[in-house]
Amino acid sequence: MFLGVDGGGTKTAFVLIDKNGHILAEHSEPTCYHIQVGLDGARNVIESGISKTLHLAKKNVNDLTYAFFGLPAFGEDSEVDNRISELPSSILSAKQYQCDNDMVNGWAAAFGGQDGINIVAGTGSIAYGVRKNQRARCGGWGELFSDEGSAYWVAINGLRAFSQMSDGRLKKGPLYEVIKQDLAIGQDLDITGLVLSKWQGERSRIAAVSILVSKAAGLGDYEALRIMEEAGKELAKIVLSTREVLGFTENEHVNLSFSGGVFRSGSLVSKPMKDALNQTTLRFSISSPLYSPVIGSALYAMHLSGETASKSCLHKLQNL
């Protein structure tokens, strides 16, 4: 049995599979993003998730072969990485699991472990790629000064546009009314109280405003359309930098996959990203991920254990 864990910025997904590709149990917990919930909060989420997933499958820890935990912000602070790696240790032995950044299982999900680049634009944004024995990441420096093209980035730009529309620095468009109505804003300045006091600047709640920006773009709002287009261009920059670091030659076709909530806006972001890539002479074979990120974690756990997933197993798990 193999346990896959995908720790996103909004929720933490757990899945338990066997080597034949059968789903034994699935479970979801709140985010384990330690910067947001603290290390103790992350530990509680992980411990609860492991226990409940095994319970749903009517299995115990000794039945587990290996687990992989794809965790947000792992590898980005050497002072706390060891402590993050120990989060599952109250339940699992050190020989039963490995922790890494959630970009790794995103890549594993994209191509089933084959060479290529996966760009993620969820609450945050990051790219991770593999070429032969070389690995590279780009982006993902956090929401305060990076995560370009992410839901948080889109939301912050949308909120900025709302404030400027309210002031008269920008002409009011559908974005102004969409934000005001959907967030039940009375006086325009009440939005500062909502975001800073009621939400306490919570990353995931702010990122959810990106849905309203996408909605306004669908209504033809100029600023919202510009924000979504810029998001796509920023994501293309991340992809191109990752490709360069990995050393792909100009004539090589690079497998590229994209995932994350921002891409649910459809062509509003994916088209400008693809257009920016097509303006270069570089070649990309673009496709949707073969597997969900949490299935990618389970498959990577299988790989780390030394087990090779059969074609039958891979087929069963595809698009679940």
Residue ranges per domain, the chain?
A: 2-112+291-317, 114-289
- The average confidence (pLDDT) of the chain is 95
Q: Is the pLDDT of residue 320 over 90?
A: no
Overall average pLDDT of the 81-104 stretch: 96
- To which CATH superfamily is domain 114-289 assigned? ATPase, nucleotide binding domain (3.30.420.40)
pLDDT digits (tens, 9 = 90+) for 152-165: 999 999 999 999 99
Overall average pLDDT of the 242-249 stretch: 96
Q: DSSP alpha helices (H): ranges in 119-209?
A: 151-167, 174-182, 190-192, 203-207
Max intra-chain CA distance, the chain? 64
Using a pLDDT cut of 90, give the percent of the chain over it.
93
For helices 222-246 and 174-182, angle between their N-to-C axes, nearest 10 degrees: 90
pLDDT digits (tens, 9 = 90+) for 268-311: 999 999 999 999 999 999 999 999 999 999 999 999 999 999 99
Overall average pLDDT of the 143-153 stretch: 96
Confidence band, pLDDT 50/70/90 cuts, at residue 9: confident
Given this chain, do its domains 2-112+291-317 and 114-289 carry the same CATH topology? yes
Sequence letter at residue 319:
N
- pLDDT of 82: 95
- pLDDT of 319: 61
Q: Is the pLDDT of residue 243 over 80?
A: yes
CATH class name, domain 2-112+291-317: alpha beta
Backbone angle region of 188, left / alpha / beta, with phi > 0 → left and psi within -120 to 50 → alpha: alpha
Confidence band, pLDDT 50/70/90 cuts, at residue 10: confident
CB atoms within 10 A of CB 220: 10
Overall average pLDDT of the 190-215 stretch: 96
Task: Provide DSSP, 203-222.
Answer: HHHHHTTHHHHHHHHHTT-H
